[in-house]
């Protein structure tokens, strides 16, 4: 783990040149999530019952106890490997795949997220250093002028990706899903590079995006956390989020369902794959 000075972190929109780095970061953040979900589903009582019934049937056909025991589990795992990415998406997104090109469209024109740790002098220095890069991006925009109309349409539904940048290194990212309702949005794909975890960078990304969404009129934010992720649950609770259904400020007490109720992602046999956390801004 590297000691990080949050004052040197620049919170900006993902640009086209950042796509490969963000994809690698997302891949790192997804490692183990899929396997934990599969293990969680395999250990549900209903799933165990169905596997036991199927094994008993195969025992009569195959005349092999080991094969009859292993085959249903193997088939079940293969099925989940093929269907989980399509049903739950990755890291709390409502979609399994992300349109990175659409998300990066005209990203260099967006103002940065606020960073309370950065002094005015550092912000001014960052802006001056960024100007030449903006000119370089103008050339890229000219090269892709042919697809301008297509990118505009894709950008409307692609969502936004924000990155934490320090001296050109992408250390973390967070996204605002393209899905939205009036006054409501969903944040997802929060990932911090392993070297910079537990330094407050995840908190900085989420709070910066919350501040921006509040300025745009959003009053409620949702976050889907993969069901087995205790670390993710604890993180969002520390930021003031509560599990959907709990009374604000009181853990364990249920609140009445409202019009903004967010359905958790569900997988095989309707098992919930995510927990929905909510925060009123």
Residue 186 belongs to what H/E stretch? Answer: strand 184-192
Q: What pLDDT is stored for residue 279 in this prediction?
A: 92
Q: For residue 200, what is the domain's CATH number?
A: 3.40.630.30
Q: Which domain holds residue 168?
A: 10-116+149-247+262-280
The answer to the question of residue 177 being in a domain is: yes
Number of domains in the chain: 1
The answer to the question of residue 142 being in a domain is: no
Within 13 A of 75's CA, how many CA atoms are on the CB side? 12
Tokens coding 194: 């392993």
- Its pTM stands at 0.75
The answer to the question of residue 192 being in a domain is: yes
Beta strands at 169-181 and 184-192: parallel, antiparallel or unpaired: antiparallel
The answer to the question of residue 205 being in a domain is: yes
Per-residue pLDDT of the chain (281 residues; tens, 9 = 90+): 567 778 888 899 998 889 899 988 888 877 777 788 888 888 888 889 989 999 988 888 888 888 888 999 999 888 887 777 655 555 566 565 677 887 887 777 888 888 887 764 354 554 444 444 444 444 444 444 446 777 777 777 788 899 999 888 899 999 888 776 778 888 888 888 888 888 889 999 999 999 988 888 888 999 888 877 788 889 999 999 999 887 655 555 555 555 567 777 776 667 777 888 999 98
The answer to the question of residue 57 being in a domain is: yes
The answer to the question of residue 158 being in a domain is: yes
Distance CA 124, CA 132 (A): 14
The answer to the question of residue 4 being in a domain is: no
The answer to the question of residue 130 being in a domain is: no
């Amino acid at each position: 783990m590297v000691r990080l000075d949050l004052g040197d972190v620049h919170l900006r929109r993902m640009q086209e040149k950042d796509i490969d780095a963000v994809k690698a970061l997302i891949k790192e953040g997804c490692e183990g999530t899929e396997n934990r979900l599969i293990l969680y589903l395999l250990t549900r009582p209903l799933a165990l019952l169905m596997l036991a019934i199927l094994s008993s049937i195969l025992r009569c056909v195959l005349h092999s106890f080991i094969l009859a025991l292993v085959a249903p589990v193997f088939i079940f795992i293969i099925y989940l490997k093929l269907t989980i990415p399509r049903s739950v998406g990755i890291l709390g997104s409502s979609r399994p795949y992300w349109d990175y090109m659409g998300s990066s469209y005209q990203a260099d024109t967006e103002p940065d997220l606020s960073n309370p740790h950065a002094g005015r002098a550092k912000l001014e220095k960052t802006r001056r250093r960024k100007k030449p890069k903006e000119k370089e991006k103008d050339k890229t925009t000219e090269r892709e002028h042919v697809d301008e109309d297509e990118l505009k349409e894709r950008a409307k539904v692609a969502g936004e990706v924000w990155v934490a940048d320090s001296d050109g290194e992408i250390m973390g990212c967070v996204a605002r899903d393209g899905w939205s309702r009036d006054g409501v949005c969903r944040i997802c794909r929060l990932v911090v590079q392993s070297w910079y975890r537990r330094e407050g960078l995840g908190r900085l990304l989420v709070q910066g995006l919350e501040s921006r969404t509040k300025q745009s009129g959003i009053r409620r934010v949702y976050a889907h956390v993969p069901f087995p992720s205790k670390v993710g649950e604890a993180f969002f609770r520390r930021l003031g989020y509560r599990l959907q259904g709990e009374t604000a400020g009181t853990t364990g007490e249920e609140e009445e369902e409202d019009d903004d109720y967010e359905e958790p992602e569900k997988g095989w046999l309707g098992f919930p794959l995510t927990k929905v956390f909510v925060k009123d801004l």
